[in-house]
Amino acid sequence: NAGVTQTPKFQVLKTGQSMTLQCAQDMNHEYMSWYRQDPGMGLRLIHYSVGAGITDQGEVPNGYNVSRSTTEDFPLRLLSAAPSQTSVYFCASSYGARGRNTIYFGEGSWLTVV
Amino acid sequence: LAKTTQPISMDSYEGQEVNITCSHNNIATNDYITWYQQFPSQGPRFIIQGYKTKVTNEVASLFIPADRKSSTLSLPRVSLSDTAVYYCLVGDETDYKLSFGAGTTVTVRA
């Protein structure tokens, strides 16, 4: 059972480039989300999805797009990378709504924008 | 979504008990209290969840007073490997937009 799998683990981008962070879960979870974590700070919600075809914005959505075409996959797209998007990105999933159900996290993707 | 307040950091020594208190004064009737642990360079992982009174598992205990306006995570006999950031979350099944605060950085020293 792989859980939540994120790729790539590390990435360096130049300002203005675009890229996609991949996230897949094999637990048949309805809820998936993306967080970013900056040094010394907690995790801030970027986007989330309550099921295939349904996405919504979190706390810090600007500069990011998401889609949810399948239950398993929830990619995060950076449209035009900026140095302010240098961060660690975590994908997460849970069976039910967050406040009641256990959230499972991926191992993280370290992104540097130069 | 109840707002939580917890200490920024705590220091301890191996073998001691560590207690981290989280304040959530506006907790709602349907809210649950959940704690997560995050090691450096890893994603957070679930530790324990409770609604009232006391919950214990193989890792920790969670104490919740009758008014539920605070909760205390207790880590018994910590070791160096318990050095991590601990997050307190409060919410119910309608909370889709959970964000984690800065958490409490627990440093265990030999």
How many Å lie between the alpha carbon of A18 and the closest alpha carbon of chain B? 24
Label residue B97 by pLDDT band (50, 70, 90). confident
Closest partner CB to A58 (pick from B31, B44, B97): B97
- Reported for B65-68, long-range contacts at CB under 8 A and 24+ positions apart, including other chains, are B68/B24, B68/B27, B68/B31, B68/B33
State the distance between the two ends of chain B, measured CA to CA, in whole angstroms.
Answer: 38
CA distance A10 to A12: 7
DSSP string, A54-87: EEEE-SS-TTEEE--SSSSB--EEESS--GGG-E
- The predicted-structure confidence for A46-101, as pLDDT tens digits, reads as follows 999 999 999 999 999 999 999 999 999 999 999 999 999 999 999 999 987 666 77
Q: What is the pLDDT of residue A112?
A: 97
* Minimum mean pLDDT range among A17-26, A52-61, B91-100: B91-100
Chain B CA closest to residue A31:
B96
Q: Is the pLDDT at B1 greater than 60, yes or no? A: no
N- to C-terminal Cα separation, chain A? 36
> Whose structure tokens read 């792989």?
A2
Q: Would you state the pLDDT for residue A97?
A: 61
**What is the residue type of B31?**
D
- Note whether A98 contacts B: Cβ–Cβ < 8 A: yes
- How would you classify the pairing of strands A10-13 and A109-113? parallel
Q: Which pLDDT does position A99 carry in this prediction?
A: 64
Write the residue in A42, A50, A56 that is nearest to B101 by C-beta.
A42
Q: Classify residue A108 by burial, with Cβ atoms within 10 Å: 0-12, 13-18, 19+.
A: buried
Q: Is the Cβ–Cβ distance between B26 and B32 less than 8 Å?
A: no
User: Is the torsion defined by CA of A37, A92, B89, B107 positive or negative?
Assistant: negative
Is B42–A108 a contact, with Cβ atoms under 8 angstroms apart? yes
Written as one string, the DSSP assignment of A86-98 is -EEEEEEEESS-T
Report pLDDT for B82. Answer: 96
Checking if the pLDDT of B15 tops 90, the result is: yes
**Taking CA atoms, what residue in A is nearest to B32?**
A100
Supply the DSSP symbol for B82. Answer: G
Partner B, chain A 50-89, Cβ-Cβ below 8 Å = 50, 56, 58-59
Task: Tell me if B96 and A56 make a contact (CB, 8 A cut-off).
Answer: yes
Distances (CA, A) of A34 to A52, B29, B43, B46, B48: 15, 28, 12, 17, 22
Q: Give the model confidence (pLDDT) of B35-93 as tens digits.
A: 999 999 899 999 999 999 999 999 999 999 999 999 999 999 999 999 999 999 988 77
Residue type, A74: F
